[in-house]
Amino acid sequence: MLNWDHVFATRSQRMRASEIRELLKLLDKPDIISFAGGIPDPALFPEAEFGQAYADLFADGRAAGALQYSVSEGYLPLRRWLQEEMGRLGIECDVDNIFITSGSQQALDYLGKLFISPGDTALVTWPTYLGALQAFNAYEPHYHQLSTGNRTPASYRAAAEAQGSAVKFAYLSTDFANPTGQTVSLEERQQILALADALDIPVIEDAAYQHLRYGGEAIPPILSLDIARSGGIDVTRTIYCGSFSKTLAPGLRVGYVIAAKPVIRKLVLMKQAADLHSSTINQMVVADVASQHFPAQIDKIRAAYSKRRDAMLAALERYMPAGTHWTRPEGGMFVWVTLPDGMDGAALLARSVETEKVAFVPGQAFFADRSGANTIRLSYSCANEAMIEEGIRRLGRLVGQALEQAA
């Protein structure tokens, strides 16, 4: 029998099962109140609009093109729509600055492959999006904490050199981040750009939740700030990753990258070698639905998710014991809870599922160094207000019991 471990590449040793994907299995259990999956509510999908778009495509003579191979860059009308939409965000670009991917997760994988050689250093926030860590892990980087605090460019460079590596990029989610729900301030965005200038590295801006703002003032994307100071997108260092998964539907797997043309050209070559192009038919219907219904769809999901966020924040205030803290996001899908010192989120989850029938994600998975044991991520996107009220009541009771037992 072949010893598979002997022939696997060394990078396979860094591949771990997603704790979140495993937890999604709990969604199939009707007695579980789940705050685990950071997924959109399927009841909010524009089903009728997509059904009509597919029907129109087969009725108006476009079926042959929809079912055929296509260009690796992506469907041109979809890129043109994105060009206009990005302009409204202050990102002035050409269609040749836009590249369509099979979900934003593929974009992260491609960017990891493009920039990371084994042993290189990636700067990521503590905590950060688990999917980004999984995408980058395959290329065997070191991770250092991206901070706008007292870290200097020289300290980042020295830490990387001590490991015999070089800093290759900074990655962060700027608006209503997964997992914390927090937003990077304008001053912090400018500091990130200044750090990237000093280190001469790109900034990967993950904007998956850009359109899910429920309150507060919108902040320009880092790419917008970069364009404004540089004079044009092709002389910027910021790479903007977006997706239709949180706004229209995740199952179609349509994401995008917006960047300087030298970066886009490299990504296109990767696409040609990997899967040739993203699904043509899905790109076409996304273009149709987005061009006709995007503002109305955004209004619909904002109205629903903002009520659920408010319900979760109010329930946390009512039921969580003293010593527990949480973020107060202005948008997105998540609240990040810091438990009292010494409490373990993974152990709490095991007890919670068994005794209280409430699921969430332990926070440790989101830290590159596996710290953050006393944190958890709560998602409100797929729970109605009554479920949120009851689920947080149960969770608060469990945390209180754990505190009493530890006293």
pLDDT in tens, 29-69: 778 999 998 899 999 999 999 999 999 999 998 999 999 99
Task: Count the Cβ atoms, other than its own, within 10 Å of residue 100.
Answer: 28
- Which pLDDT value is given to residue 26? 58
- Which pLDDT value is given to residue 18? 62
- Which pLDDT value is given to residue 31? 85
Q: Which amino acid, residue 23?
A: L
Angle of the 280-319 helix axis to the 76-88 helix axis, nearest 10: 40
Please determine whether the domains at 16-46+295-406 and 47-292 fall in the same fold group of CATH: no
Give this prediction's pTM.
0.94
Q: Can you tell me whether residue 227 is helix, strand or coil?
A: helix
| CA–CA distance, 389 with 395 (Å, rounded to integer) | 10
- Model confidence pLDDT, tens digit, residues 120-171: 999 999 999 999 999 999 999 999 999 877 778 888 888 888 888 899 999 9
**Domain 47-292 class?**
alpha beta
- Which pLDDT value is given to residue 129? 96
Q: Which amino acid, residue 167?
A: V
Residue 318 burial (10 A CB sphere; 0-12, 13-18, 19+): exposed
Residue 149, token pair as written in the block: 């605090």
Contacts of 49 (CB under 8 A, 6+ apart): 289, 292, 293, 297
Contacts of 130 (CB under 8 A, 6+ apart): 18, 19, 20, 178, 179, 365, 366
- Model confidence pLDDT, tens digit, residues 353-386: 999 999 999 999 999 999 999 999 999 999 999 9
- Which pLDDT value is given to residue 330? 97
| CA–CA distance, 304 with 381 (Å, rounded to integer) | 9
| CA–CA distance, 178 with 336 (Å, rounded to integer) | 9
Peptide bond into 42 cis (omega under 30): no
Residue 214, token pair as written in the block: 């429920």
Q: Which residue has the tokens 């946390």?
A: 316
| CA–CA distance, 246 with 254 (Å, rounded to integer) | 11
Q: Can you tell me whether residue 35 is helix, strand or coil?
A: coil
Domain extents in the chain? 16-46+295-406, 47-292
148: closest CA among 178, 171, 125? 125
Q: Which of 174-183, 312-321, 364-373 has the lowest mean pLDDT?
A: 364-373
**DSSP letter string, 179-192:** TT-----HHHHHHH
> Does residue 27 register a pLDDT over 60?
no
| CA–CA distance, 204 with 237 (Å, rounded to integer) | 9
- Which pLDDT value is given to residue 23? 59
Q: How sure is the predictor about 73, in pLDDT bands with cuts at 50, 70 and 90?
A: very high
Find the radius of gyration of the CA atoms of the chain: 22
Please state the rounded mean pLDDT for residues 309-318. Answer: 98
Which DSSP letter does residue 363 get? G
Peptide bond into 250 cis (omega under 30): no
CATH of 16-46+295-406, one of 3.40.50.300, 3.40.50.10320, 3.40.50.1010, 3.90.1150.10: 3.90.1150.10
Q: Which amino acid, residue 254?
A: V
Q: Can you tell me whether residue 326 is helix, strand or coil?
A: strand
